[in-house]
Amino acid sequence: MSPDHAPAHELVELLTLERLEEDLFRGQSRDIGTKYVFGGQVLGQALSAAQATMDAGNGRLSHSLHAYFLRAGDIDAPIVYTVDRTRDGGSFSVRRVTAIQHGKVIFFCACSFQAEEDGVQHQAPMPEVPPPEDVPPTQISAEELAKLPPKIQRWMNRSGPFEFRRVHPRNELNPQPQAPVQKAWFRLGERVESDSPALQRAMLAYASDFGLLGTATYPHAISYYQPGVQMASLDHAIWFHRPFRVDDWLLYSIDSPSAQSSRGLARGQIFNRAGELVASVAQEGLIRVTETKA
Protein backbone atom coordinates (compact mmCIF):
# COMPACT_ATOMS: atom_id res chain seq x y z
CA MET A 1 0.00 0.00 0.00
CA SER A 2 1.49 3.32 -1.04
CA PRO A 3 1.73 6.08 1.60
CA ASP A 4 -0.81 8.16 -0.31
CA HIS A 5 -3.37 5.36 0.07
CA ALA A 6 -2.52 4.27 3.61
CA PRO A 7 -5.54 4.24 5.96
CA ALA A 8 -4.36 7.37 7.80
CA HIS A 9 -4.09 9.34 4.58
CA GLU A 10 -7.47 8.00 3.46
CA LEU A 11 -8.89 9.42 6.71
CA VAL A 12 -7.36 12.84 5.97
CA GLU A 13 -8.97 12.73 2.51
CA LEU A 14 -12.30 11.69 4.05
CA LEU A 15 -12.22 14.69 6.39
CA THR A 16 -11.21 17.11 3.60
CA LEU A 17 -14.51 18.33 2.22
CA GLU A 18 -15.40 19.73 -1.18
CA ARG A 19 -16.56 23.34 -0.89
CA LEU A 20 -19.67 23.86 -3.02
CA GLU A 21 -20.56 27.37 -1.79
CA GLU A 22 -19.31 29.64 0.98
CA ASP A 23 -21.08 27.66 3.72
CA LEU A 24 -21.99 24.49 1.80
CA PHE A 25 -19.77 21.40 1.68
CA ARG A 26 -19.84 17.85 0.37
CA GLY A 27 -18.15 14.85 1.95
CA GLN A 28 -17.76 11.36 0.56
CA SER A 29 -18.84 8.27 2.50
CA ARG A 30 -16.68 5.21 3.14
CA ASP A 31 -17.77 1.61 3.60
CA ILE A 32 -15.75 0.30 6.56
CA GLY A 33 -17.88 -2.81 6.97
CA THR A 34 -20.82 -1.36 8.87
CA LYS A 35 -24.38 -1.44 7.57
CA TYR A 36 -24.67 2.36 7.62
CA VAL A 37 -22.28 5.31 7.58
CA PHE A 38 -19.99 5.19 10.64
CA GLY A 39 -21.05 7.87 13.12
CA GLY A 40 -17.46 9.01 13.66
CA GLN A 41 -17.23 9.87 9.96
CA VAL A 42 -20.21 12.24 10.19
CA LEU A 43 -18.85 13.79 13.40
CA GLY A 44 -15.43 14.42 11.88
CA GLN A 45 -16.81 15.78 8.61
CA ALA A 46 -19.31 18.07 10.35
CA LEU A 47 -16.54 19.48 12.54
CA SER A 48 -14.37 19.97 9.44
CA ALA A 49 -17.20 21.91 7.79
CA ALA A 50 -17.65 24.14 10.83
CA GLN A 51 -13.91 24.78 11.10
CA ALA A 52 -13.73 25.73 7.41
CA THR A 53 -16.00 28.75 8.07
CA MET A 54 -13.79 30.19 10.82
CA ASP A 55 -11.47 33.14 10.23
CA ALA A 56 -7.99 31.64 10.40
CA GLY A 57 -6.62 34.93 11.70
CA ASN A 58 -8.60 34.98 14.96
CA GLY A 59 -6.96 31.85 16.37
CA ARG A 60 -10.24 30.30 17.49
CA LEU A 61 -10.34 26.51 17.73
CA SER A 62 -13.24 24.20 18.53
CA HIS A 63 -13.60 23.53 22.25
CA SER A 64 -16.93 21.69 22.18
CA LEU A 65 -19.31 19.86 19.88
CA HIS A 66 -22.86 18.66 20.64
CA ALA A 67 -24.54 16.45 18.04
CA TYR A 68 -27.66 14.41 17.34
CA PHE A 69 -27.93 11.48 14.92
CA LEU A 70 -31.39 11.55 13.33
CA ARG A 71 -31.26 8.99 10.51
CA ALA A 72 -28.90 6.25 9.38
CA GLY A 73 -26.47 7.40 6.69
CA ASP A 74 -26.28 5.75 3.26
CA ILE A 75 -22.75 4.44 2.63
CA ASP A 76 -23.20 4.67 -1.15
CA ALA A 77 -24.03 8.38 -1.24
CA PRO A 78 -22.13 11.59 -0.40
CA ILE A 79 -23.28 13.82 2.46
CA VAL A 80 -23.95 17.54 2.08
CA TYR A 81 -23.15 19.79 5.06
CA THR A 82 -24.68 23.22 5.51
CA VAL A 83 -23.12 25.58 8.06
CA ASP A 84 -24.99 28.37 9.82
CA ARG A 85 -22.69 31.08 11.21
CA THR A 86 -24.79 31.44 14.33
CA ARG A 87 -22.54 33.86 16.23
CA ASP A 88 -19.12 35.52 16.19
CA GLY A 89 -18.78 37.26 19.53
CA GLY A 90 -15.92 38.94 21.30
CA SER A 91 -14.59 35.69 22.75
CA PHE A 92 -16.57 32.81 21.23
CA SER A 93 -17.92 31.72 17.87
CA VAL A 94 -20.73 29.21 17.29
CA ARG A 95 -21.51 27.23 14.17
CA ARG A 96 -24.53 24.99 13.53
CA VAL A 97 -23.98 22.20 11.00
CA THR A 98 -26.72 20.16 9.29
CA ALA A 99 -25.92 16.97 7.35
CA ILE A 100 -28.25 16.04 4.49
CA GLN A 101 -28.62 12.91 2.36
CA HIS A 102 -31.32 12.26 -0.23
CA GLY A 103 -33.03 15.51 0.74
CA LYS A 104 -33.38 14.57 4.43
CA VAL A 105 -31.52 15.73 7.52
CA ILE A 106 -29.58 12.81 9.00
CA PHE A 107 -27.55 14.71 11.62
CA PHE A 108 -27.01 18.13 13.12
CA CYS A 109 -24.60 19.63 15.63
CA ALA A 110 -23.48 22.85 17.24
CA CYS A 111 -19.77 23.66 17.56
CA SER A 112 -18.26 26.36 19.76
CA PHE A 113 -14.88 28.01 19.17
CA GLN A 114 -12.56 30.07 21.37
CA ALA A 115 -9.04 31.48 21.14
CA GLU A 116 -6.63 30.15 23.77
CA GLU A 117 -6.73 32.05 27.07
CA ASP A 118 -4.89 31.83 30.38
CA GLY A 119 -7.01 30.88 33.38
CA VAL A 120 -7.50 28.49 36.28
CA GLN A 121 -6.59 24.86 35.60
CA HIS A 122 -7.27 21.44 37.11
CA GLN A 123 -8.02 17.99 35.75
CA ALA A 124 -8.94 14.46 36.75
CA PRO A 125 -5.93 12.13 37.12
CA MET A 126 -5.17 9.58 34.44
CA PRO A 127 -5.97 6.00 35.47
CA GLU A 128 -3.03 3.74 36.25
CA VAL A 129 -2.63 1.40 33.28
CA PRO A 130 0.29 -0.39 31.58
CA PRO A 131 2.02 1.63 28.84
CA PRO A 132 0.86 0.90 25.28
CA GLU A 133 4.04 -1.05 24.51
CA ASP A 134 3.01 -3.61 27.15
CA VAL A 135 -0.54 -4.01 25.80
CA PRO A 136 -0.95 -6.30 22.76
CA PRO A 137 -2.92 -5.01 19.75
CA THR A 138 -6.61 -5.86 19.83
CA GLN A 139 -7.20 -8.76 17.43
CA ILE A 140 -9.73 -11.48 16.66
CA SER A 141 -8.72 -14.98 15.58
CA ALA A 142 -9.43 -16.27 12.08
CA GLU A 143 -11.62 -19.01 13.58
CA GLU A 144 -13.76 -16.49 15.46
CA LEU A 145 -13.87 -14.15 12.46
CA ALA A 146 -15.25 -16.93 10.24
CA LYS A 147 -18.31 -17.24 12.50
CA LEU A 148 -19.42 -13.68 11.80
CA PRO A 149 -21.60 -12.39 8.94
CA PRO A 150 -19.55 -11.09 5.96
CA LYS A 151 -20.42 -7.45 6.68
CA ILE A 152 -19.14 -7.68 10.25
CA GLN A 153 -16.10 -9.67 9.11
CA ARG A 154 -15.04 -6.69 7.00
CA TRP A 155 -15.51 -4.40 10.00
CA MET A 156 -13.45 -6.60 12.33
CA ASN A 157 -10.75 -7.54 9.82
CA ARG A 158 -10.22 -4.16 8.17
CA SER A 159 -6.92 -2.43 8.71
CA GLY A 160 -8.35 0.95 9.70
CA PRO A 161 -6.57 4.26 10.30
CA PHE A 162 -6.37 3.77 14.09
CA GLU A 163 -4.62 1.10 16.12
CA PHE A 164 -6.34 0.10 19.37
CA ARG A 165 -4.83 -1.72 22.33
CA ARG A 166 -7.44 -2.57 24.94
CA VAL A 167 -6.08 -2.98 28.45
CA HIS A 168 -8.69 -5.61 29.40
CA PRO A 169 -10.22 -6.91 26.14
CA ARG A 170 -13.36 -9.03 26.22
CA ASN A 171 -14.60 -11.70 23.84
CA GLU A 172 -17.14 -9.81 21.76
CA LEU A 173 -18.57 -13.06 20.35
CA ASN A 174 -19.10 -14.63 23.77
CA PRO A 175 -19.15 -11.76 26.27
CA GLN A 176 -19.42 -12.36 29.99
CA PRO A 177 -20.98 -9.93 32.52
CA GLN A 178 -18.48 -7.37 33.78
CA ALA A 179 -18.31 -3.83 35.09
CA PRO A 180 -19.16 -1.16 32.48
CA VAL A 181 -15.60 0.17 32.29
CA GLN A 182 -12.93 -0.10 29.61
CA LYS A 183 -9.56 1.47 28.89
CA ALA A 184 -7.79 1.44 25.56
CA TRP A 185 -4.69 3.01 24.09
CA PHE A 186 -5.11 4.24 20.51
CA ARG A 187 -3.23 6.20 17.90
CA LEU A 188 -3.27 6.92 14.19
CA GLY A 189 -1.43 4.15 12.34
CA GLU A 190 0.88 6.48 10.40
CA ARG A 191 2.42 9.86 11.10
CA VAL A 192 0.54 12.76 9.53
CA GLU A 193 2.69 15.66 8.39
CA SER A 194 0.06 18.29 9.10
CA ASP A 195 0.30 20.10 12.45
CA SER A 196 -3.15 21.63 11.98
CA PRO A 197 -5.03 21.61 15.32
CA ALA A 198 -8.29 21.67 13.32
CA LEU A 199 -7.38 18.44 11.51
CA GLN A 200 -6.26 16.83 14.78
CA ARG A 201 -9.64 17.66 16.33
CA ALA A 202 -11.57 16.28 13.34
CA MET A 203 -9.60 13.02 13.50
CA LEU A 204 -10.16 12.70 17.25
CA ALA A 205 -13.90 13.26 16.72
CA TYR A 206 -13.81 10.36 14.23
CA ALA A 207 -11.97 8.06 16.66
CA SER A 208 -14.11 9.01 19.66
CA ASP A 209 -17.04 6.94 18.35
CA PHE A 210 -15.13 3.64 18.53
CA GLY A 211 -16.13 1.45 21.48
CA LEU A 212 -17.92 4.19 23.39
CA LEU A 213 -21.51 2.94 23.45
CA GLY A 214 -20.39 -0.68 23.61
CA THR A 215 -19.21 -0.10 27.18
CA ALA A 216 -22.86 0.16 28.26
CA THR A 217 -23.40 -3.46 27.19
CA TYR A 218 -20.71 -4.91 29.48
CA PRO A 219 -22.89 -5.75 32.53
CA HIS A 220 -25.47 -7.49 30.33
CA ALA A 221 -23.22 -9.98 28.48
CA ILE A 222 -24.36 -8.75 25.07
CA SER A 223 -22.49 -7.38 22.08
CA TYR A 224 -23.16 -5.50 18.86
CA TYR A 225 -21.77 -8.52 17.00
CA GLN A 226 -24.48 -10.89 18.29
CA PRO A 227 -27.77 -11.49 16.46
CA GLY A 228 -30.73 -9.86 18.11
CA VAL A 229 -28.78 -6.89 19.47
CA GLN A 230 -29.61 -3.54 17.90
CA MET A 231 -27.39 -0.55 18.70
CA ALA A 232 -27.25 2.98 17.30
CA SER A 233 -25.83 6.32 18.43
CA LEU A 234 -28.44 8.91 19.38
CA ASP A 235 -26.23 11.83 20.35
CA HIS A 236 -22.56 12.66 20.91
CA ALA A 237 -20.69 15.40 22.73
CA ILE A 238 -16.97 16.27 22.77
CA TRP A 239 -15.04 18.82 24.79
CA PHE A 240 -11.47 19.63 23.74
CA HIS A 241 -9.33 20.69 26.70
CA ARG A 242 -5.65 20.71 25.70
CA PRO A 243 -3.49 20.30 22.56
CA PHE A 244 -2.80 16.76 21.33
CA ARG A 245 -1.71 14.71 18.34
CA VAL A 246 -3.69 11.64 17.31
CA ASP A 247 -0.57 9.99 15.86
CA ASP A 248 0.84 9.83 19.41
CA TRP A 249 -0.58 7.31 21.90
CA LEU A 250 -3.76 8.45 23.69
CA LEU A 251 -5.61 6.63 26.47
CA TYR A 252 -9.41 6.34 26.15
CA SER A 253 -10.92 5.70 29.60
CA ILE A 254 -14.65 4.92 29.32
CA ASP A 255 -17.41 4.12 31.78
CA SER A 256 -21.19 3.74 31.58
CA PRO A 257 -23.12 5.13 34.58
CA SER A 258 -26.57 4.04 33.42
CA ALA A 259 -28.65 2.00 30.98
CA GLN A 260 -32.47 2.10 30.90
CA SER A 261 -35.45 2.38 28.53
CA SER A 262 -33.40 0.71 25.74
CA ARG A 263 -30.81 3.50 26.02
CA GLY A 264 -27.29 3.42 27.40
CA LEU A 265 -25.08 6.32 28.46
CA ALA A 266 -21.30 6.23 28.11
CA ARG A 267 -18.64 8.77 29.14
CA GLY A 268 -15.04 8.95 28.05
CA GLN A 269 -11.87 10.77 29.07
CA ILE A 270 -8.92 10.96 26.68
CA PHE A 271 -5.40 11.43 28.08
CA ASN A 272 -2.01 11.80 26.41
CA ARG A 273 1.00 9.80 27.57
CA ALA A 274 2.06 12.60 29.89
CA GLY A 275 -1.22 12.17 31.80
CA GLU A 276 -2.83 15.38 30.53
CA LEU A 277 -6.60 15.25 29.97
CA VAL A 278 -6.95 16.40 26.36
CA ALA A 279 -10.65 15.71 25.71
CA SER A 280 -13.88 14.45 27.28
CA VAL A 281 -16.69 12.61 25.47
CA ALA A 282 -20.27 11.54 26.23
CA GLN A 283 -22.81 9.59 24.21
CA GLU A 284 -26.26 8.09 24.63
CA GLY A 285 -27.37 5.36 22.28
CA LEU A 286 -30.05 2.83 21.53
CA ILE A 287 -29.45 -0.66 22.96
CA ARG A 288 -32.34 -2.96 22.08
CA VAL A 289 -32.34 -6.74 22.61
CA THR A 290 -34.83 -8.91 20.72
CA GLU A 291 -35.96 -12.45 21.48
CA THR A 292 -33.84 -13.81 18.62
CA LYS A 293 -30.54 -13.12 20.38
CA ALA A 294 -28.40 -16.27 20.43
233 is catalytic: yes
283 is catalytic: yes
Give 192's contacts (C-beta < 8 A, 6+ positions apart): 8, 9, 12, 199, 203, 246, 247
Q: Using alpha carbons only, what angle is made at residue 174 by residues 155 and 130, rounded to the nearest 5 degrees?
A: 75
- Cβ burial of 18 (10 Å; 0-12, 13-18, 19+) is exposed
Residue in 45, 208, 233, 269 annotated catalytic: 233
Check: CB of residue 166 under 8 Å from CB of residue 184.
Answer: yes
Residue in 45, 51, 64, 209 annotated catalytic: 209
Q: Count CA atoms closer than 13 A to 272's CA, side-chain side.
A: 13
CA proximity to 238, closest of 214, 215, 196, 206? 206
194 is catalytic: no
Residues known to be catalytic: 209, 233, 283
